[in-house]
Each structure stands twice: as C-alpha cells, then as structure tokens.
Amino acid sequence: MDVIVIGSGIGGLTAAGLLARYGKQVIVCESHNLAGGAAHSFRRRGFEFDSGPSFYCGLSSDSGLSNSLNPLKQVLDVLGESLTTVRYDPLGHYHFPTVSFPVYSSSDRYYQELAKITPQGAKEFHHFEQRLLPLYQAIKGIPSLALRADWQVIPLLMGRYLPSLLQMLPNLPLVKASVGSVMDATVNDPWVRKLIDLECFLLSGLKPNGTIAPEVAFMLGERSRVGVEYPLGGSGAIIQALVRGLERWGGKLRLGCHVEQIIVKSGKTVGVKLQNGEILRAPIVISNASIWDTYNKLLHPQDLPSSCRIAALATPAVDSFMHLHLGIKADGLENLTGHHVVVNDNQQDITVPGNTSMISIPSVWDANLAPSGHHVVHTYTLEPYAGWKRDTEYEQRKRTKAENLYRALERVIPDIRQRVVLELIGTPLTHAHYLRRYQGTYGPGIAAGKGKFPSTHTPIQGLYRVGDSTMPGIGVPAVAASGIMCANTLVNVRQTGELLNN
C-alpha cells in the first residue's frame, strides 16, 4: 500500500481518487458505515436525507459551458465519472421577519428583486459586486486541478496560466481583504448590509469582517455564470460517484473501519492502527479527520511537538448544529421551492444560534428522494456544543431547541406540523457522533486577517491533512480543492501536467 486515507469526507475521497488515478495504491478507512462525512446521505422509511450540503454549482457537464470551475467536478472528470443534475432558479428564498424575496442566480435578476425593496441599496449592491468580480475573473483562468502545496506550483502556473496570474496582480490587495472592508467602501444601505451579512454567514459561518473577499467573489461570479443545480440522488450520488471513481482506478474503501492511531516511528509515519487492533502500513497517511481530532486524538503526545497540539486546540471552531429531518405529506404543496433561509428575529444578530435557519427540500427537484405524495425536508441552525449531555433532560431539550426550526419552517409551509410523518431531531452530539468531528463543529472559524487555514503539510514526515480544516477552508468546492492540493503535492509536476492536458 502506498497511501492510507483516514476518512471518506469529500476531502479524503478527492485526494484518494486522484492518487489512485496517478497510479498509487490507496486505501480509505472510514469509521462510519456510510461514506461521505458531512456530505453523506442516509435512508429512513423510504426518505433519502442529505445530512449536510445541498447547495451546489458547476457539477454537471450540461451547462453548455466547456469548463467547470468546481474542483469537485474537475476531479470527477479525471476519474471518468459524471453526475446528472437538475438546474433551478431562483436558487432560494430569503425570509426576513417583514419581507421575503427570491434570490436569482443571475445578478441582473437579483438586482431587480433588490430594487423592489430598496432602489438605492440595489445600486450599492451592484457597486459591491463590481468591486469583487475582477478577482473572480482572474481566479477563473486557473484550474484547481493544477494546484499543489509546494513551491513547484509557481513554475507550473507561470508556464501554463501566465495571463491569469498577471490579471491577478492588480487584485492582490483584494485576495487578503475581508468582505467587510469591501462592503464598508461600497454599501451604506442597512438592509443590503444585512443581506451581505447573511450571504457571508451562509458561505463561511462568519460575518463579512471575518469572510475573505475571494470566497464571496467566487460565489457571486460563479452562480451568475453557471447557475445552481442539485444532483439526482442527492448528495449521496456525489459520494457514490467519487467512490466509483476511486475503485475504477484500483483504490479501496473500507467502511466501519475506525482508525485509532497514526503510527509514527523516528518522526516518520509508517501506518495506522485500527480500532479492531489491525495494523495497516504505508509510508504516506492522509488524515481527513479535523485538525483537532488528528492532532489530539490520532497522534501519541510524544509524536507531535506540543506547540502543534496547543496550536490545534487553539484553532477557533464555528458552532455545531441542531438538525430537523422530516418526511412530510406533500398534498397541496405543488408550488413549493427547494431552498429557503429564514431569519426569525431582526433585532438579533443573524449568527445567534437558532436565529437563522437553512431549509432544503430536495424532493422538489428529485421526486425519488421521498415516497410518492411526500417531501423530504432538512432544516438546520447553528447550536453550540457546550452544555449538551445525554442525561434525563436530553429528549426535552432536543424538542425545545427544535422549536426554532419548526417556527422557521412555518414561514414556508404554515401547516408543517400537521404534515409530519417522520421526524428526526439531531443535536450537536448527533453531529459530532456521526461525523466524528470535534465538538460537532462546522469547521474552523478563522477570520480574514486573523490567521490562515493550515496547509496540507504536518510536522511529521509522511503525514498530510485534507478537508475543511486545511487550505482553502470549509465547503464542498474548498475541501475538494484541499484533496487536489494534497494529491498533487505527492506526485511530480509532469504527472499533473498530463492530467491537465487530457
């Protein structure tokens, strides 16, 4: 075996698939009996639930555009896999306490909707977007598949993508800037500022001052260019495609295979010890577990400089979640749309746990996700991990906390409570347990200007990391990019060049 990957999140599967494609012998060890981590799907009584992501862009080949900028799609392409997706617009509805409005992918239609609420604010939003888009235009010319996490990235990019790099030069100050600084320079309208708060929060889990400008530039540019789409079969279909791609190129996936420890000898990784006592050996180990879990649980204290452990523990973590997964009766809901964001109380900050709820009803795009005459619903909101215990009050606390999610759902489906045929409430403990994540966190809360996401390298020779606690950060495209950067770093530039030429 050349490489062991701990965890089958999208970061782990993209790294493993690419390395298998490069000809390495790869095995992925996944603790859960379902692959996919935060992006896994699970089935109950005929309902197919997404456990996490449902908002996707640039996944299919039928957009009419030759190149997708989504790193996940670039990996699927080289693995020989594709997805069938449903395109939809508006991409969602935002519901504030006094106003609801549709959000369209196309920026022109977005301004038109904004102008109905605040004509001046719509103009300011346009200026805000115009400040960010040149950065997107520059980023767009460099495929994520070319990225790696060492100096060799420089000659590779200069040799192939010089015009895009030159286009990047005047935008360099924006690369490190926060969205907050761009917003302060362009937007006064309080309502539009709140809207930008919400867009940033949905993307990074942070407010504009904490969110980096390239992230929002990319989101605005890309959703207007290619629109949004949902994969038929749900997020599980993405995971199945990645697993098929891995296996097509000779890689292996073991489910229910919990790694207890990374084995280090004389400062080098030599393999892993599984929970069942079995030892797997390989000179390269890639951890898709979070930075907190990798450095604090999977390594012996003596194998890691204590400064690294302390730094890992000090990485700020975004809160965890309350989840409400419902199967509901669909009669009379013919005009229902699939994505909604509800802010319960305008007086409270949108980041206050329970105040902002995300709602996804993917059976409006793929009827096979629910039994006939029914819809499948996933609603979630931030919730701190601290204080949750499986004690005698656990069930009651769960029910009380789920109330915010029901209230949010009532904005979209007023008689939701009468429609429920299946109800699953998840808490931060559920999230931490099924995703094997430290405190069930959404990921690192590293604010713009206050540090950067750690790279794929670790202080231990042969040990690498991928996923949302490495560069470039949280979200499906970002974690796929982390998998690419790690895999490319482990092969030579010529091999990556061959893939790019395909």
Ligand X SMILES: Cc1cc2nc3c(=O)[nH]c(=O)nc-3n(C[C@H](O)[C@H](O)[C@H](O)COP(=O)(O)OP(=O)(O)OC[C@H]3O[C@@H](n4cnc5c(N)ncnc54)[C@H](O)[C@@H]3O)c2cc1C
Q: Residue 94, interface with ligand X (CB under 6 A)?
A: no
Q: Residue 241, interface with ligand X (CB under 6 A)?
A: no
Within positions 278 to 297, which residues make up the interface with ligand X, using CB under 6 A? 288-289, 293
Q: Which of 18, 39, 79, 285 binds ligand X (CB under 6 A)?
A: 39
Between residues 15 and 187, which has the closer beta carbon with respect to ligand X?
Answer: 15
310's tokens: 């302390």
Between strands 41-44 and 374-383, the pairing is: unpaired
Q: Residue 246, interface with ligand X (CB under 6 A)?
A: no
Q: Which of 37, 141, 180, 234 binds ligand X (CB under 6 A)?
A: 37
Between residues 111 and 201, which has the closer beta carbon with respect to ligand X?
Answer: 201
Within positions 46 to 65, which residues make up the interface with ligand X, using CB under 6 A? 52-55
Segment interacting with ligand X, rule: CB under 6 A, options 171-179, 382-390, 406-414, 434-442: 434-442
Cross-strand pairs, 463: 285
Segment interacting with ligand X, rule: CB under 6 A, options 3-11, 121-129, 193-201, 325-333: 3-11
The answer to whether the beta carbons of residues 339 and 55 sit under 8 Å apart is yes
Angstrom CA distances, 180 to 132, 135, 316, 325, 488, stand at 12, 16, 20, 34, 33
Kind plus residue range of the DSSP H or E element containing 471: none
3-state SS class at 325: strand
Binding residue count for ligand X, defined by CB under 6 A:
37
The answer to whether the beta carbons of residues 62 and 217 sit under 8 Å apart is no
> CB-hemisphere CA count at 13 Å for 255?
8
Kindly state the smallest distance separating residue 57's Cβ from ligand X, in Å.
Answer: 8
Kindly state the smallest distance separating residue 492's Cβ from ligand X, in Å.
Answer: 25
Q: Which of 3, 27, 29, 145 binds ligand X (CB under 6 A)?
A: 29
Distance of CA 253 to the CA centre of its chain: 21
Kindly state the smallest distance separating residue 409's Cβ from ligand X, in Å.
Answer: 15
Segment interacting with ligand X, rule: CB under 6 A, options 97-105, 214-222, 455-463, 469-477: 469-477
Within positions 350 to 389, which residues make up the interface with ligand X, using CB under 6 A? 380
DSSP one-letter string for 2-48: -EEEE--SHHHHHHHHHHHHTT--EEEE-SSSSS-GGG-EEEETTEE
Q: Which of 272, 284, 288, 271 is nearest to 436 (CA)?
A: 288
Q: Residue 444, interface with ligand X (CB under 6 A)?
A: no
Between residues 104 and 292, which has the closer beta carbon with respect to ligand X?
Answer: 292
Cross-strand pairs, 265: 268
Kindly list the residues in this chain that would bind ligand X in the complex (CB under 6 A). 6-12, 29-32, 37-39, 52-55, 258-259, 288-289, 293, 298, 321, 380, 435-437, 442-443, 467-468, 474-476, 479
